[in-house]
Structure 1
Amino acid sequence: MKTQHKDIDKFLPYGELIRGFANQSYLSKSDLKKSLRKRGIFFTNSEKETLVPCISTLLLSPTEFDDLRTCQNTREDNIKKNTSRLEWHSDKSIIDTLTDFSFQNIIPDDGINFWFNSEPSISVLDKNQDTIAIDYEIERHDLNKSWYESKNIFKGRIVVEKVDDNEIKFIKSYTSFESNFVAENIQRSLVQHFKAINIVQEDKELKKILFGDFSNEDRIVFFYRLSSYMQNSIYFTFKDIINMEFKPDDNVPLPKQIDWMENKSALKLKGNQIHDTFFIREKEYHPNLQFWEMESSFDFTYQQHKGSCNVVFSFRDFPTKGNNAEFEINISNFSLENGSDYSTKDKSHIKNALLDLFEAKKDDTYRNFLKHIESKKESAT
């Protein structure tokens, strides 16, 4: 999340300074239109290309600039989540095993332009002390960025849950490369700590959901189950698959019907009813295609709230990490009925609660899918 310049209360930007500030993605078209309307300035064209030049010609009052600053500061970064598991051999509560755990050396001293802006905190989330959360914030300074972009704050969280006396689960939430980097290092340090106190065996490692864990055919089935099995939830109603990203598998010859895909490094389908495209619908083509991302749309009813959202299920880093790309989910689009009645903070809270529900359902779907694959192997032998 972008934060304010340290001298923001000491000067009032204008001209090119306010142009760059207003062009940020954190300030929406509606934010700018609202500010201009207060001045009695109205546009039929509401694109930023029209609004930003106009607002940059004005000398804003301190109050007007503070209103824009408030809009900037209430924008939340998009949270991504993934889950991993670890074999565990102890009847101790998780919090009791962390009495001497240290966050030292999580972030290297050299070659890094970010750091903890405070000591990470550990909190207990259940009365049995078997679910804990590690929350942290990191601060990054970019000296080559504009005055309004030079300082960034990124939040992250790792929830560690004891499933039973033989297994624990890590749920990682992050918003950026930096917060994911820190989360990975914290998880690695936790595993080393558990091994040092003989709770985790030396040869055991985190079991993540990786691209290479699936055959091409099984990966497509897994993606479909993530959408269709949400129907079993009391909160979500599946609407459509609206985006899929894939490529032909370079190690498998392409059938003649889809040989036009040859030498394509990435293909993207956007629209409606994508799953009815013939080379997705016809299973004979599945061994030839490597799908790494699917975006689906849902309606939701959560407590007294109703709305719609798009969820991205993705091995996002597949183009660079290949088989080692880790699976993650995030909510890419989110709207509430009567959305103007909600504060930005309330919207963010509801969105994050929905993401937690999707993550839990995804975890159940994956566990059941592993059983499906295992039974399929047994049937083949």
Structure 2
Amino acid sequence: MKKVLKFKNFVEFSSYLDSLGLFHMDMTLGRMEEFVRNWGGRESFPAIHVVGTNGKGSTSAYLTSIACEYGLKVGTYTSPHFVTPRERITINGSMLSEEEWCALANQVMEIAPDAGLTYFELLTCMALVAFKNNGVDLAVMEAGLGGRFDATNTIDPGLTVFTPIGMDHEKVLGSTIELIAADKADAMCKNGIAITAGQVPEAQAILKKRAGELGCRLHSIDESSRVADLTPTLAGEHQKENAQLAASAWRLFCEKADFRFDEEKVRTGVAKGFIAGRLQIVNAGRTFILDGAHNTHAFNALEAGLQSSGLKPDTIIFACMKDKTLGPVRDALFRLTDGSVIACGIKDNERAYPFKDLAAVLGEQAKAAEDIDEALAMLNSGDRTVLICGSLYLLAAFYTRYPEFLEK
């Protein structure tokens, strides 16, 4: 009997994916656990799980690049995407074809036909299948939101990496740093291995407590584990810390995998590591600074990065999701520029802060633009340096106009 495929082509799959709702969440792991049980491929490759509030994408990019320098075939799963969901699943940094995506989706539907997977869960399952199909030596899996009920928290990783934890997604994860840290701490495995970046004391205490309960060995970056002369291409002092976290995590992975830790390969990997939208400076008729800073911790890093680079934007184009706490962010925005801030809408994004309301909250100095096209049209000839920040979805709208800037 001929097998009936759910998706005949990538267009059909994309329509189905969109119908699931990009922001629909169901904070349980039952559907993912059903898929993993039916799939039976979990032991096919080791995994490094990257969890935290800020720096997950950059740290994942460095880990991927370092592993590639070792000659490993590396599958990487990140989120969100800018222009196409195919950006989320890569092999050695390269996207898979539309045909392979369609085949992966059909394979997932065969494995768990009635699981009712959400948008993020479906893509997570596809990543796992893609990594097994392609015979990867290592999977680098970036958590989406939180840790406890994140779809990636079904992979039983060999190593869990915690980037800095801060206030974000409070309506889902909790209203205090302790609650947010507790959610993310649940990504640790029983009797596992984890490493953390420098954390605020409240978050560090939660991670340490949870590690003790699980018998998980929790490491921190110290002077003995640092690699000298790391020079990430990505700008900002915080990227040096993300790179050190990746290097220290790689040292632990090497110990577990019985690889020789090679500092020169680590340096080369870090120097080659790249991810778009992280204090990225491009030229498109004027200088644009592109940064996905969307919470207080990230804005502090952005502010420090701009100051160290001697950059002061003439204008800022800003957008955010409507669940954001805007007080501290608003103050930071007006410290960063002597010019105006354009409150920008994001088309077809149900979670985006309505641009007129956003402008009203930001104050008299703010202007309102319906979308990125209108915001760019509002720029004056004297606006030589423009910062676009606040949401990766705003950056996505920019990259849709200028896809060449998605590459290094």
* TM-score bracket relative to the smaller structure: under 0.3
Larger Rg: 1
- Structure number with higher helix proportion: 2
- Structure number with higher strand proportion: 1
TM-score, normalization by structure 1: 0.27
Which one has more relative contact order, counting CA pairs under 8 Å at least 6 apart?
2
TM-score, normalization by structure 2: 0.25
